[in-house]
Amino acid sequence: MTRVLVVDDQDMVRQGLRLILELAGLDVVAEARDGAEGVAAVAEHAPDVVLMDLRMPVMDGVEATRRITASSRARVLALTTFDVDQHVVDALRAGAVGFLLKDVTSDGLVEAVRRAAAGEPVVAPAVLQRMMGHFADRPPAPVREPPGFADLSAREREVLALIGAGRSNTEIAHELVISMATVKTHVRHLFAKLDLRDRPHAVVVARDAGLSSPGTNRPTLER
């Protein structure tokens, strides 16, 4: 049974999430009221998935996500009242596997938790599109070369840039005039070299490295 930790500073939100998850047969092993309690609860209860509010007192969800992903195998799903904002981007950068709006349906919540527990991507293509729009609307950030970036070949950097611009593997193959098999090989290699979790993480890293090309569309979560 999937073990879930719920971290939110609002009692009613935590209770509502617990009820939905338990009715679906998931095991809510604990609740926490802030990020610091969440980090301690992960160490004590070893959940498979953490539902993490981003805006909380004492320790916010971004810092808690960073600590949890650095010290455990729990997969963090960020919870937010907002659509795509800097807190969401920071949470993905800190290790969250995706995020959910707090008005998500009961079925959508349960499905997201189960997919996260199974190691599947949980950021929908439409959400990834909005995340890229968020990048496009903000001034360019200082380039932060990620660990392993220097080991990428020129072609792997091209592929990463196109992923950051929202291209699918099919579109990358067409644009670079290479086979789909070759694209998948490059994607596999650059994911390994940069220790990337999924496509949304690759978009954030491409942006950090100054490779994203805002304004393109049709993002995908294939890998």
Residues 6+ apart with CB under 8 A from 194: 146, 147, 148, 149, 152, 160, 202, 205
Per-residue pLDDT of the chain (223 residues; tens, 9 = 90+): 899 999 999 999 999 999 999 999 999 999 999 999 999 999 999 999 999 998 898 999 999 999 999 999 999 998 887 655 677 778 888 888 888 888 889 999 999 999 999 887 776 555 666 666 666 555 555 567 888 998 999 999 999 988 887 788 888 999 999 999 999 999 999 999 998 877 778 888 888 887 754 344 444 444 4
Q: How far is CA 18 from CA 4, 51, 92, 110, 113, in A?
A: 9, 10, 23, 11, 12
Q: Where in the chain is the domain with CATH 1.10.10.10?
A: 134-208
Block residue for tokens 């993490």: 52
Pick the CATH number of 134-208 from 3.30.450.20, 1.10.3080.10, 1.10.10.10, 3.30.420.10: 1.10.10.10
The dotted CATH code for 3-122 is 3.40.50.2300
